[in-house]
Chains A and B, each alone.
Chain A
Amino acid sequence: DAGITQSPRYKITETGRQVTLMCHQTWSHSYMFWYRQDLGHGLRLIYYSAAADITDKGEVPDGYVVSRSKTENFPLTLESATRSQTSVYFCASSLGAPYNEQFFGPGTRLTVL
C-alpha cells in the first residue's frame, strides 16, 4: 500500500523552465491539495481539488497550474519557474468529508537557479 507518493523527490531547474511535480494517491481520496513550505511561512496552500475535474485556487496560486483528470493524480506545473518558487512542495489528500485529516506525501524539494 503506497499511500501517497510524490515525484521527483528532488529537482533542480533553471529560471524560465517548465517543471511538473507529480502526486499520486492509492486511497481514492476525493480531496487533494498542494502546499509549499518556506522558512517563516509555514505551509501555504497553492491549489486544491475536491474531485476529478474540480480544482480551485488556494492562498498562493500565481505561477502554478494544476489538473486532475483522474482521482488518483494531481500534478502541479510551474509554467515558467522563478527563483521565488524554490521551496519544498507537499501534496496531501483527504477523504470525501471536508473535515477529515489530511495525509501528506514525502515532499519534493525544488531549487530554481
Chain B
Amino acid sequence: GQQVMQIPQYQHVQEGEDFTTYCNSSTTLSNIQWYKQRPGGHPVFLIQLVKSGEVKKQKRLTFQFGEAKKNSSLHITATQTTDVGTYFCAVHGSSNTGKLIFGQGTTLQVKP
C-alpha cells in the first residue's frame, strides 16, 4: 500500500534558526497535505499541494512539492517558540476514497 517516509523524526533548534522536514514517497502522488499538531492538541490542516514543482508560502512557512510529485518539504524560516509541535505530511491512498496516509511526523522543539 501507499507509504510515505518523513524525516527527521525529531529536531531541536535554537529560536531564530531555520527548520526543514521532508516527506518522500516511492510512487507518484496526486497531492500532499501538511498538518501541524501542537503538544496535547489535535492535527490542524496547513496546506495542500497539487501541482508538480508547486511552492506555497504562509508567512515564515514554505511548502514545496517535487517536480516528480514524489517528495515534499516544509521549511520554516527563523523559528519561534510558537512553531513547537509535530508536523505531518499526509497523502491519499491509491484508491479514490478520501483516506489519508500520514507520515510519522517530525517533532520540532525550539529553545528560546
Interface of B, secondary structure class, is loop
Residue B92 at the A interface, CB < 8 A?
yes
Chain B residues positioned under 8 Å from A107 (CB to CB): 42
Query: Considering only CB atoms, which chain B residue lies closest to A43 in the complex?
Result: B102
Residue A74 at the B interface, CB < 8 A?
no
Residue pair B100, A102 in contact (C-beta under 8 Å): yes
Name the interface size band of chain B: 20 to 34
Interface of A, secondary structure class, is strand
Chain B residues positioned under 8 Å from A50 (CB to CB): 97-98
A58 to B97, CA, bound (A): 11
Residue pair B99, A58 in contact (C-beta under 8 Å): yes
Would you give the shortest CB distance from A39 to chain B, in whole angstroms? 10
A35 to B30, CA, bound (A): 22
Would you give the shortest CB distance from A74 to chain B, in whole angstroms? 13
Question: Of A48, A90, A101, A103, which one neighbours B99 at CB under 8 angstroms?
Answer: A48
Residue A94 at the B interface, CB < 8 A?
yes
Chain B residues positioned under 8 Å from A100 (CB to CB): 98
Name the interface size band of chain A: 20 to 34
Query: Considering only CB atoms, which chain A residue lies closest to B100 in the complex?
Result: A102
Give the interface segment out of B11-19, B43-51, B55-63, B76-84.
B43-51
Residue pair B31, A99 in contact (C-beta under 8 Å): yes
Residue B85 at the A interface, CB < 8 A?
no
Residue pair A106, B42 in contact (C-beta under 8 Å): yes
A35 to B43, CA, bound (A): 11
Asked if A101 meets B98 with Cβ closer than 8 Å, knowing A41-B104, A42-B105, A43-B88, the reply is no
Residue B64 at the A interface, CB < 8 A?
no
The 7 A-B pairs with the shortest beta carbon distances in the complex, nearest first, are: A98-B98, A101-B45, A104-B42, A42-B104, A43-B102, A31-B98, A104-B43
Q: Contact residues of A with B, CB < 8 Å?
A: 31, 33, 35, 40-45, 48, 50, 56, 58-59, 90, 92, 94, 98-107
A-B CB contact pairs (8 Å), 5 listed: A43-B88, A48-B98, A94-B98, A98-B92, A99-B98
